[in-house]
Structure 1
């Protein structure tokens, strides 16, 4: 018998060269976590002014219609971003620390996180918290801390809202230009104001926004602390 000779391999056969799929690369499976991270990436690159649903779809390598299967609007995406950022706000001291220091840690952390994302503040201010689990977790920790500190139940939410209003306004102030209170050519006609601005610059090595935030926060702590025991 003669040995059988094998035919040379076909260079185009599927066994040796699997055929490449035709068409666009497969997109990642969409979910809220992936949409949130892509939105943060886009915001970091283009800012909030450059953030659109079309741009987000391109970042995710999906058609806009696929994106709308998971979120119904730009506002929904901003809710996801806001909730993600809230997870970085420090509420740890409310578990065991003194109430005053817990509020300080929370307020400074809250301001610093959202001073980098001030375009979200108008969204936060009028946004129901029902679909924001991390935000609800923050409020639960703060409310529990207020309750342990002896606040009557009916005063806890008004106190938190009062602090948040101050924190959000201060987040904007933290991004203000250094010369925001420079009276310029009107200095001679505003002597009291101009003198106070100059004195602040001379006496403090801290940023004016930090000085103002510290003063206002301590005033709120003193006032709310008095209400706690009233």
Structure 2
């Protein structure tokens, strides 16, 4: 018998598969959330020095030119990353708690967020906040809390910077090795420091980074509190 020939597909049948339209897909392959996630992944793996637009494009498996449909520069990507991380910093206490408690709550949250992304700290710490909506929203909430607490307006930004300097440094401390202060063979020539390190270890603190952060934060809050009207 001759081989049967299949009839052409009836386009009106319900089970007929629609043909894919030629040209670009209806949905964008990239979006800002995807670019942000890829940038965080890349920086976490290769550090900031390994973060280039070409490397980011490879991470996303796209041509570098495709990135520029969504961001105009490397700085734009960093602003996205900055905004993404800052959105996790909790500022809600400034609406409900006394000033000193609100500052502590914000500072702990801030430190915990950036302790997971220390390669970005040198960049974020000096990145302008221009056109960064979530970052500016955080600063607005904190500034409003300081203002309500009676801080002179000309001191508010300096107070925030002082706290941030401590917070960023403390974020690094979270990831420091447990033996960072071991004086090794120099113990005999550094008796005061070595004894202080040993005494701290004797306290049995579960997390010495938290102890140091709490001590420094208490000192900063007490000192800054004296500036209130």
TM-score by length of 1: 0.84
Structure 1 match to 2:132 = 132
8 Å CA contact 2:89, 2:113 repeated in 1: yes
Unaligned runs of 5+ in 1: 1-6
The alpha-carbon deviation at position 211 of structure 1 amounts to: 1.2
Aligned positions of 1:20-169 closer than 5 A: 28-43=28-43, 46-48=45-47, 51-169=51-169
Please list every run of at least 4 consecutive aligned residues from structure 1 whose deviation after the TM superposition is greater than 4 angstroms. Answer: 16-27, 41-44
The alpha-carbon deviation at position 146 of structure 1 amounts to: 0.5
The alignment's C-alpha RMSD in Å is: 2.7
Worse overlay, 25-34 or 99-108: 25-34
The alpha-carbon deviation at position 37 of structure 1 amounts to: 2.9
8 Å CA contact 2:43, 2:119 repeated in 1: no
Structure 1 match to 2:7 = 10
| In 2, Cα distance between equivalents of 1:116 and 1:99 | 27
Distance 1:41 1:22, change over 3 A: farther
The alpha-carbon deviation at position 56 of structure 1 amounts to: 2.7
The alpha-carbon deviation at position 125 of structure 1 amounts to: 1.8
Distance 1:113 1:215, change over 3 A: same
Structure 2 match to 1:214 = 214
SS at match of 1:228: coil
Count of residues paired in the alignment:
221
1:49-93 Cα distance to aligned partner (Å, 9 max, x none): 654423432444432101023223333312211110100001000
1:24-44 Cα distance to aligned partner (Å, 9 max, x none): 988734332332233335556
1:168-210 Cα distance to aligned partner (Å, 9 max, x none): 1111111111100000010011110000000001114232221
| In 1, Cα distance between equivalents of 2:27 and 2:185 | 58
Worse overlay, 112-121 or 57-66: 57-66
